[in-house]
Structure 1
């Protein structure tokens, strides 16, 4: 479609170039009966002088007899020799008919009609081609933006989590939205315009030289300065457009961070600091915008001045040539139109280049994102179905670090049997959550192996592993929609009875039915549902999954003590019959775990159930007792 749009733009430009030539013919046809033909008057004087009234002469295919020549000479002798053409034209009716026809021919109405019709057709075709070009280009740019966003969406799913650890969310969002829109707008507004302007520029240039090379040279010389200035500005301004897109990404990142953590900002009285940072980033964006807009704003007036200067210069030269009889009045009109067409592409090209500079910066950021290193290709050799999995998982000498310089998990080895509750405890930074991320294959281990039912996770796809696990996280992930949609996420055709059966087990049926719309209650950022109730909803979602493995990552850390009891009972229901990995800071919640792994600095320093570890009176016992000290 882009090629078709470009072809339509070319044809539209060609018709625009042809039109002035037809317009000149129309003006010449009309002026025949209104304007004296100075050239033929000069030729008449010359031919009479040569013939010396001894023979007939021919001018423009019209034969003038000796008798008509004598009569013409008699009239010319009565005129002021300094202005023969003007005074001769004033007495044109006294001249012989043959001389009148070459000095002031009659208008050919049929020719005027034909030329007018052809001219109208040319302008209509040019308009139609331009319209369809704009329509197709708009459709193409929208599809391009849609496909680009799809590529970005697919890319996000293929990127390793370490990319998101190192890059700000706001900057990524800016690339997906602002930068993609900038590229699409340029494709819509500038690409075909650029092609059309180039065709119009060179086509007009050719026609100008074909019409009159003197005026063409005048026009070319007058715009050379414009091209030199444009090249200088483009070379100096690219860095400002790149800076503008970068600063916009930084500002978006800051706004997203503050908005996402507004409660924390207010709790720590961080309003002043966050506002100051926002003002700094906003000022940086303003400066980048000001510099880039100053340069882009400077180009258009300069190009307009250059075009106007060329227009004036050509009009003066054309007037001089017309006064000497070297061109007709129609040629002047034609050339005046060509000068306008010649200067217009300059402004369009300047504007397109300005737009393309913003696009170059935006596309660089977009394709830089698309070129990021993806998750390594998987060699899928096995597929485990949830109903075929009993629940055995083993870690065998696992080593891992987010970067090569620092290893977080060191020679980790443990085996979980079907149905066991494995609790993982330890201080912040011990590697608890990292262990879960490795289990879900969010990161690739450096060495060692993780096996599910004796099959290495290296031989399983990430999608297959995800289908075997249910996760309940510290941060409750609920999207805008109804409670029903959140509980039955990714599971269609569930009845109210099936949903309430799960809700009964964890004790939230009464709460849901007490809401005005029950399961159809809309959830959004402004709802009054507590953190504990939201966590219970996520647990209900997890129970519906019915997977062989369960991961609970700090699931009770965001609820109060009273709600914790409800959540704990719900979690006990959730873990029944499943191999469960429970990460917890509140050690009271994992007392009934089959195995408690005490981690410190990436290693297992203690292992056993609650009673066994308390008897050792070591790290776990001290950690447990510290939580109950007054």
Structure 2
């Protein structure tokens, strides 16, 4: 069993029994809907055949009664078949609704437990695709694929059994086009080589990437390279995809056309009539006995062609199931049991022999040791890629360390319940995350029960209250709709959110890096008021903003190269001094 098939089986496991039942009922319904065709053949036999009632000289009233019984049974079977097919569709759609609800709830439960760092390494579109698009793709599989297969196989098998019951010799020759179809269809599938298929899929990906680049980057491309350059990458991707599409489809066109021609109703009917005339001429059959084959055999063509087409649904659903299953199996952060959860005895943060790497070959942090004393400010500086932001995210438990530990009040963060951790440790990061909701909801995200007065007080401290009041609906304005906020204003909303939580420990990761001069001053003023009396860890890019810190940790290649106060570090004339000089600061301004 392939990985894709295994993923489909695993995702559909909760509703497999219901889908199987729906397929069986749909198959039974398809069988009953074929009864009218057999009824027509039976009527012809009654009226025209030598073995029928008229051929035996039976009274007209008896013949009429037999005709009406056949018509009534045919109509009853047709209604019953349609009812069964409707029941099967209802069962399949109910099962689909159940699975969709379960998958989305399971995914939400899973995402609530994954490390916060998992989100920073993935685009929101990736998660949206699995939760929305891929679950929607599975709808075609669960709501339609199984019932269609049930109907088609029910119709094919019932037709074959009926034809063999009529005359096995004629059944064999009448069904000859269908094995031929499978042979040609299989050859067509082999003609579409795996290499061409891969190029086709890669071409689709390149077009998607080119569209995103074209839309997002067109202002820059036009400004620096002209409009022709702005279109060239997209045009090249389209041309490359066209070539891949032609290479993929060209070997398939003729074999697929031949395969479909073999089982077209006209071709099948021609085979039936040819052998029917032959068998009648040989005296093996009467013309009336050929009629069931004329009526039923061409009807097998449509279900068989439908089976080949719905294979595309299974192919698409296989990829979707793999992505959904991967999302449901995303590793989660271990959470302590209620009985094991501990409460910190203080707000002191200790980092002990901390190491972390995204993989074993690429360590980001190695053997880090330091303590955040209550009420002090500790700054973390270093060159880009030194591990500053990773250290901040480990303190916020975006992910767990590879080795060592971080404790809060003597309790390992891994033994601290998440709500308790985020009540005690607040953060303002460079990447602002606001939800699609009102400004009030965004500020009160961590304290939904906060009063309007508390929310406004937090906004005032963050220097954003007046801007919110100027919005069309004030605090009720919705972010992204009637609340159009700049990057710096969004940052101040995130500061207000942290203020409302009132945590004793605060982590600031280059909170003003993306702000303009006016917003930076407002953010710095807000942070200064908010930070009073708290334990702070500040990730800084500009060294002149952390000169007054109680301690500065200098990271270099994932290790603490130096630590101390600003004046002490400059006096050592070491790595910090080189960073200071590279920043263009004057040493005389430090004292």
Task: Tell whether the structures are fold-level matches, with TM greater than 0.5.
Answer: yes
Query: In structure 1, what is the equivalent of residue 445 of structure 2?
Result: 489
Q: Is this contact kept in 1: 2:23–2:150, CA < 8 A?
A: yes
Q: What SS does structure 2 have at the residue aligned with 1:391?
A: coil
Q: What SS does structure 1 have at the residue aligned with 2:358?
A: coil
Kindly state the Cα deviation for residue 290 of structure 1 after the two structures are TM-superposed. 5.3
Say yes or no: does 1:233 pair with 2:188: yes
Q: 1:302 aligns with which of 259, 266, 272?
A: 259
Query: In structure 1, what is the equivalent of residue 23 of structure 2?
Result: 6
Query: In structure 2, what is the equivalent of residue 383 of structure 1?
Result: 341
Query: In structure 2, what is the equivalent of residue 16 of structure 1?
Result: 33
Q: Is this contact kept in 2: 1:303–1:346, CA < 8 A?
A: no
Gaps of 5+ in 2: 1-17, 587-591
Say yes or no: does 1:207 pair with 2:162: yes
Q: TM-score, normalised by structure 1?
A: 0.78
d(CA) in 2 for partners of 1:351, 1:519: 53
Query: In structure 2, what is the equivalent of residue 351 of structure 1?
Result: 309
Gaps of 5+ in 1: 41-59, 61-99
Query: In structure 1, what is the equivalent of residue 405 of structure 2?
Result: 449
Query: In structure 2, what is the equivalent of residue 224 of structure 1?
Result: 179
d(CA) in 2 for partners of 1:270, 1:446: 48
Say yes or no: does 1:130 pair with 2:90: no
Kindly state the Cα deviation for residue 547 of structure 1 after the two structures are TM-superposed. 2.0
Q: Is this contact kept in 2: 1:169–1:256, CA < 8 A?
A: no
Kindly state the Cα deviation for residue 165 of structure 1 after the two structures are TM-superposed. 7.6
Q: Is this contact kept in 1: 2:116–2:397, CA < 8 A?
A: no
Q: Is this contact kept in 2: 1:247–1:281, CA < 8 A?
A: yes
Say yes or no: does 1:566 pair with 2:583: no
Provide closer, same or farther for how the CA distance between residues 536 and 213 of structure 1 changes in structure 2, counting only shifts above 3 A. Answer: same
d(CA) in 2 for partners of 1:118, 1:110: 12
Q: Is this contact kept in 2: 1:296–1:354, CA < 8 A?
A: no
d(CA) in 2 for partners of 1:276, 1:158: 44
Question: Of the two, which has the highest radius of gyration?
Answer: 1
Query: In structure 2, what is the equivalent of residue 80 of structure 1?
Result: none
Q: Is this contact kept in 2: 1:22–1:119, CA < 8 A?
A: yes
Kindly state the Cα deviation for residue 256 of structure 1 after the two structures are TM-superposed. 5.1
Q: Is this contact kept in 2: 1:162–1:402, CA < 8 A?
A: no
The number of equivalent residue pairs is 564
d(CA) in 2 for partners of 1:579, 1:348: 67
Provide closer, same or farther for how the CA distance between residues 476 and 371 of structure 1 changes in structure 2, counting only shifts above 3 A. Answer: closer
Q: Is this contact kept in 1: 2:24–2:150, CA < 8 A?
A: no
**Once the two structures are superposed, what CA deviation does each residue of 1:414-470 show, in whole Å capped at 9, x if it has no partner?**
011112221111111111111112222333323222211112223335565344322
d(CA) in 1 for partners of 2:528, 2:215: 35
Q: Is this contact kept in 1: 2:110–2:332, CA < 8 A?
A: no
Q: 1:315 aligns with which of 273, 285, 293?
A: 273
Query: In structure 2, what is the equivalent of residue 334 of structure 1?
Result: 292
d(CA) in 1 for partners of 2:98, 2:238: 32
Q: Is this contact kept in 2: 1:422–1:593, CA < 8 A?
A: yes
Kindly state the Cα deviation for residue 599 of structure 1 after the two structures are TM-superposed. 1.8
Output aligned runs, 1:280-295, within 5 Å. Answer: 280-286=236-242, 295=252
d(CA) in 1 for partners of 2:94, 2:256: 29
Kindly state the Cα deviation for residue 565 of structure 1 after the two structures are TM-superposed. 2.0
Query: In structure 1, what is the equivalent of residue 67 of structure 2?
Result: 112
d(CA) in 2 for partners of 1:543, 1:407: 34
Kindly state the Cα deviation for residue 512 of structure 1 after the two structures are TM-superposed. 2.1
**Once the two structures are superposed, what CA deviation does each residue of 1:387-433 show, in whole Å capped at 9, x if it has no partner?**
x6631111112222222223332221101111222111111111111
d(CA) in 2 for partners of 1:361, 1:590: 50
d(CA) in 1 for partners of 2:457, 2:70: 84
Q: Is this contact kept in 1: 2:458–2:496, CA < 8 A?
A: yes
Query: In structure 1, what is the equivalent of residue 589 of structure 2?
Result: none
d(CA) in 2 for partners of 1:151, 1:543: 32
d(CA) in 1 for partners of 2:313, 2:254: 11
Q: Is this contact kept in 2: 1:303–1:350, CA < 8 A?
A: no
Kindly state the Cα deviation for residue 216 of structure 1 after the two structures are TM-superposed. 0.7
Query: In structure 2, what is the equivalent of residue 184 of structure 1?
Result: 139
**Once the two structures are superposed, what CA deviation does each residue of 1:587-623 show, in whole Å capped at 9, x if it has no partner?**
2332332222122222223322334434545443453
Kindly state the Cα deviation for residue 567 of structure 1 after the two structures are TM-superposed. 0.9
Q: Is this contact kept in 2: 1:318–1:332, CA < 8 A?
A: yes
Query: In structure 2, what is the equivalent of residue 608 of structure 1?
Result: 564
Kindly state the Cα deviation for residue 173 of structure 1 after the two structures are TM-superposed. 4.9
d(CA) in 2 for partners of 1:626, 1:578: 31
Q: 1:420 aligns with which of 346, 371, 376?
A: 376
Kindly state the Cα deviation for residue 28 of structure 1 after the two structures are TM-superposed. 2.7
**Once the two structures are superposed, what CA deviation does each residue of 1:118-148 show, in whole Å capped at 9, x if it has no partner?**
1111111112222232333234334434444
Q: What SS does structure 2 have at the residue aligned with 1:507?
A: coil
d(CA) in 1 for partners of 2:142, 2:226: 42
Provide closer, same or farther for how the CA distance between residues 437 and 509 of structure 1 changes in structure 2, counting only shifts above 3 A. Answer: closer
Output aligned runs, 1:141-152, within 5 Å. Answer: 141-152=96-107
Q: Is this contact kept in 2: 1:395–1:412, CA < 8 A?
A: yes
Kindly state the Cα deviation for residue 582 of structure 1 after the two structures are TM-superposed. 0.8
Tell which deviates more after alignment, 532-541 or 162-171.
Answer: 162-171
Q: What SS does structure 2 have at the residue aligned with 1:127?
A: helix
Q: 2:533 aligns with which of 568, 577, 582?
A: 577
d(CA) in 1 for partners of 2:24, 2:334: 42
Kindly state the Cα deviation for residue 281 of structure 1 after the two structures are TM-superposed. 4.4
Query: In structure 2, what is the equivalent of residue 536 of structure 1?
Result: 492
Q: What SS does structure 2 have at the residue aligned with 1:429?
A: coil
d(CA) in 1 for partners of 2:198, 2:335: 37
Q: 2:462 aligns with which of 502, 506, 512?
A: 506
Tell which deviates more after alignment, 165-174 or 146-155.
Answer: 165-174
Q: Is this contact kept in 2: 1:473–1:554, CA < 8 A?
A: yes
The alignment yields a C-alpha RMSD, in angstroms, of 3.6
d(CA) in 1 for partners of 2:226, 2:482: 22
